Chain A
């Protein structure tokens, strides 16, 4: 089946630094990738929708300058958390689909801890 690879799975960084998370579709071309954030014991919160070759669409309340999303190719999207603060500590997950209304495939998530 289709696989989405997300790296790193865990990262610890110091406050003020930036962290990049990668999401790759390994065996299909993903027209759209999604980035989510999940707080403990809560459901997924969509942060942004990323279409290859165009700017990401951010959900209300998500800071574009803080959470930089790049979707440079049909198999790779990156999320960069800039100038990270402890409150950015969370579980970040990506997903991708070949096209709308096709099955969603999820990465295994990245647990970010900002100290």
Chain B
């Protein structure tokens, strides 16, 4: 079993839909990162969390340390949100989830 599990693996949505991507982990962490990787390969760091909730534009990330779970929400999704979203936890090193491939159709 992977130390970091993401769900779903693939997600399709219509433009405007509310999207949730989940990340569960089984190890003690000092921080959790949400990353976005576009088809060209470039990776952007969206959030770094150690507790609570963060919001940036249409993106919201939450983390529950006791439950070892984090969610990434996208409100009013848009085709430009289509990407792979990766959760990574920081222990003594970075451990990556397998990613969630999101496609948003107009």
Contacts and interface: CB of A to CB of B under 8 A. Distances in A.
Interface of A: 34, 38, 42-46, 49, 59, 91, 93, 95, 100-106, 108-109, 111
B1 interface: no
B14 interface: no
A44 B40 CA distance: 14
A43 B99 contact: yes
A88 B30 CA distance: 33
A43 B93 contact: no
A41 to B, nearest CB: 8
A103 B97 contact: no
A86 to B, nearest CB: 20
19 contacts: A34-B94, A43-B98, A44-B86, A44-B96, A46-B95, A59-B93, A95-B43, A101-B30, A101-B90, A103-B33, A103-B45, A104-B48, A104-B94, A105-B45, A106-B44, A108-B40, A108-B42, A109-B41, A109-B42
Contacts of B43: 44, 93, 95, 106, 109
B50 interface: yes
A42 B33 contact: no
Contacts of B60: none
B39 to A, nearest CB: 11
Nearest to B47: A103
